[in-house]
Structure formats: structure tokens, C-alpha cells
Chain A
Amino acid sequence: AQSVTQLDSQVPVFEEAPVELRCNYSSSVSVYLFWYVQYPNQGLQLLLKYLSGSTLVKGINGFEAEFNKSQTSFHLRKPSVHISDTAEYFCAVSPSGGYQKVTFGTGTKLQVIP
């Protein structure tokens, strides 16, 4: 079994400030890790994913995340946020290999303040 914890349900941040959205996971097997973004009344869009290799993963819209196996974390960061980044962000995990039954966290609402 696997699980994902997103400790922060809401994160307010001023425009052009840096942001970090935290994600911790639990799994008894090796995993793939994902961050998705959801804009209001829309489906989920993949921001980035970690499958293997370099632990620093770069995604779309200037986001990046770092996989830390010892801390079982996959925090999402952006050095300077924009108003358009206001959305809900979901961290997700799936077992590596085979078909991917993805388990999502409860989400973090990022509110960018002008």
C-alpha cells in the first residue's frame, strides 16, 4: 500500500516570491512520483514526474521538485510565482513498473497575492 501526505492545505504567497509545496509519501516498494496542477473546474495537468535518475526534476511553468528517498519527500518549488500559478496542486505516487494505480494526496491550494 502507498499513501501521500500534503501537510499544507493552503499556501498564500506574494507574487514574485518563492514557494515550496510539501509532499511526503509512504510505500513498501519503489515508486514513481508526480505533481499535478488543477485549475478551477478543470481536470489535472501533469507538472512533472520522477521515474528514476537525477533526483532534481524540472517541469513546466518553471516548477521543479526534488526526490529525497531518505526523507520520503518530493517537495515542489518555484523561485518566483505568478498570479497565473493560483491553483490546486496534487502530489501523487504509484508503484514503479507494471500498471500505475496512482494514489493522490489531498491537495494544496496555492494562492498568489498580487
Chain B
Amino acid sequence: DTGVSQDPRHKITKRGQNVTFRCDPISEHNRLYWYRQTLGQGPEFLTYFQNEAQLEKSRLLSDRFSAERPKGSFSTLEIQRTEQGDSAMYLCASSSTPGSQETQYFGPGTRLLVL
């Protein structure tokens, strides 16, 4: 069990550029979540996948954001035309179903700075 991994760990970009982040969940986990965490705040839910299906999207996920999980394994989160307000830590988590013992395991995050 290698845990949840995210790449890159840090990204600095200029306003208006597109960025893409990758998340590799724990191998047997079929649920995958993206969160955004800004300074001084707890993580905020962005979106959730069960296998390859995106089942819920937060209103925080504007049209500039898109997430995919094409084969039900790794996931990508793309931000188009980045804005300074997008600067945050983007966290990925995964969990397995079914049952009440479900726990989300978090990756180390990708810290984005938009200049």
C-alpha cells in the first residue's frame, strides 16, 4: 500500500495559464475526491468520483475547472485560465466501498501559486 500520491507537489504559474494536477489513489479504492484548501481554512469539497463516474460537483467548481477519472484509476484536475484566487492547496483523497468503515485517505496535496 503506497498511499495516495499527487503530482506535482508544487506549481507556480502565471495568471491566465492552464494547469493540470494528477492524483493516484490507493490501488483498490474506487472512490476518489478532490478538495481545495486555502490558508487558514479547512479543506473544501470540490468533486467526487465512484470508479470513472463523476457523481457530484461542488458549486466551488467553476466552469474553468474540470476533473476526469477516465479508467477509474488515476484522476486529473485541470484549471483553465488560472486566476490569483485559485492559489491554494489541492488535496486528493480516496476510499473504498461499501460499508460504514469507509475512511478517506489523503494525498500530500499540490500547492498552486498563481502570480
Residues of A whose CB lies within 8 Å of any CB of B are 4, 9, 32, 34, 36, 41-46, 49, 51-52, 90, 92, 96-97, 99-107
Kindly list chain B residues whose C-beta atoms are within 8 Å of the C-beta of A46: 103-105
The number of chain B residues with a CB under 8 A from chain A is 29
Q: How far is the CA of A14 from the CA of B81 in the complex (A)?
A: 47
Q: In the complex, are the beta carbons of A102 and B104 less than 8 A apart?
A: yes
CB-CB < 8 A to A105: which residues of B? Answer: 42
Which residue, of A36, A90, A104, has the highest number of chain B Cβ atoms within 10 A?
A104
Asked if A90 contacts B95 (CB within 8 A), the reply is: no
- Whole-angstrom CA separation of A8 from B41 in the bound complex: 13
Cβ contact within 8 Å between A90 and B43: yes
Q: Quick check: B4 and A90 within 8 Å, CB to CB?
A: no
Q: Name the interface residues of B21-63: CB closer than 8 Å to any CB of A.
A: 31, 33, 40-45, 48, 50, 55-56
